[in-house]
A = this chain, B = another copy of it.
């Protein structure tokens, strides 16, 4: 086997070889001269990187409800205006606000060993008071749920499963449950606090933050993530007997604040008429409060704005209107995504498709859809327009993305360009998520891919809406008791 970069790369290589071998490249790939020209131009793009640089340098962190969040809304309005988008506006969204404060997690023993820690997003604090307790080490929430109150009561629970690096980040879903559901499961059994091995793949000691849940009627206990090396050290300590930790924190919820979904459009040929249809290009404007959100989701903002702008520069206007939506507060409660479908309920039937960029700057390596079975040929044809970029169509079972989830639940077909996430989860939700982690040519590649799909969606045959679905039930709710 010469395919050293994972199966998906092999799919891509195999498909592009098949396509190149075809007698009529354009017919086989559905890549029109217009699309091929768009791709070539976009591959040389550096404007997306300039946009990202401006965002990270002029705004920086933009956690929901923070000063940076308000600055980001102003920056986005000014940027979309300057880039020539139409109908630029901010649609108000109320967001919860949480203040991180301090976080201490110390391994006690013959000497005290401080571990690198961050509070999980929304965690209660201890008012700064130290709490010492014996530790119970458990791999996963599922394992914790098999334990009795007797085994857990009075302990600090340490969940130590580690996320494995893969190209599509598939282990995130497995391991993030420790972060989101761990505090509820631990507190139900009488635990005093939760410490998790950070959900991150790097061989380093970075704590990764991220949102968590509390449930009504279950005590709210402080929750922290520690870096991978800290987690290894803590786990190793168990080989010699009982382990004690000291924790302290000043985290707290701090009410709500005003933010906004920022929107700009490339008007289609039917713009302004009752026949106008929309293709949503999505990214989220907020970031976590550590780092500057360069990859999460600065990269997505740079990609979708630049993809739309390149289509605006084509000689002919697209059939459908491309609506770039930079969503408020994805990270800490999906406020913007939930608000958008309420604000636009009357025109959702004219939302033909949605495509989100929220997996950093790694290069797209496969294309997926969720369309009606009868529209699969259309999805495959759109996928074939990506053949010059070596990106194969592989699935009609994507979730699309977090911000466009509420659109999908209401029946809007969604598409996904799965980006290479092998490095993404090394810095995801950490203070290392900064501009220097993003490669300008990766961004340009994605501009080419997203622009291709956006343009193909703007011109494609009509797509049926799907049956409405409801999100899977989960225990607990927003840690700051915020309701959309």
Contacts and interface: CB of A to CB of B under 8 A. Distances in A.
Interface of A: 1, 3, 6-8, 10-11, 13-15, 18, 30, 136-140, 142-143, 146-147, 151, 160-168, 170-171, 174, 201-204, 228-229, 232-233, 235-236, 238-241, 373-374, 376-377, 380-381, 383-384, 392-397, 423, 426, 467
A380 B165 contact: no
A162 B30 contact: no
Contacts of A239: 30, 377, 380-381, 383-384
B1 A426 contact: yes
A163 B138 CA distance: 29
B3 A203 contact: yes
A147 B373 contact: yes
B232 A164 contact: no
5 contacts: A7-B162, A11-B162, A11-B228, A143-B397, A147-B373
Contacts of A240: 377
B380 A143 contact: no
A287 B143 CA distance: 33
Contacts of A1: 202-204, 423, 426
Given A18-B232, A238-B376, A381-B239, A203 B10 contact: yes
Given A203-B10, A377-B238, A396 B143 contact: yes
B238 A394 contact: no
Given A15-B232, A139-B395, A203-B14, A167 B164 contact: yes
A170 B374 CA distance: 31
6 nearest CB pairs, A to B: A10-B203, A139-B397, A239-B380, A7-B165, A7-B201, A139-B395
Nearest to A392: B232
Contacts of A164: 6-8, 166-168, 170
A14 B241 contact: no
A154 to B, nearest CB: 14
A310 B374 CA distance: 61
Given A162-B11, A167-B164, A396 B139 contact: yes
A426 B138 CA distance: 33
A10 B203 CA distance: 5
Given A232-B14, A238-B380, A373-B151, A140 B3 contact: no
Nearest to A467: B146
Contacts of A228: 11, 14
Contacts of A376: 137, 238
Contact of A165 (B6, B146, B171, B373): B6
Contact of A142 (B151, B160, B397): B397
A235 B383 CA distance: 11
A170 B166 contact: yes
Nearest to A237: B380
B384 A162 contact: no
A380 B392 CA distance: 44
A212 B160 CA distance: 35
Nearest to A6: B165
Contacts of A380: 235-236, 238-239
Residue of A7, A146, A235 with most chain B CB atoms under a 10 A cut-off: A7
Contacts of A163: 7
A229 B165 contact: no
Nearest to A162: B394
A374 B238 CA distance: 11
A467 B397 CA distance: 37
A235 B393 contact: yes
A394 B397 CA distance: 32
Contact of A397 (B10, B161, B165): B161
B232 A161 contact: no
Contact of A170 (B147, B171, B381): B171
A143 B398 CA distance: 10
Given A142-B397, A164-B170, 19 more contacts: A1-B203, A6-B165, A7-B202, A10-B203, A11-B232, A13-B203, A14-B232, A15-B232, A137-B396, A138-B373, A139-B395, A143-B397, A161-B397, A166-B166, A166-B171, A170-B174, A232-B392, A238-B380, A239-B377
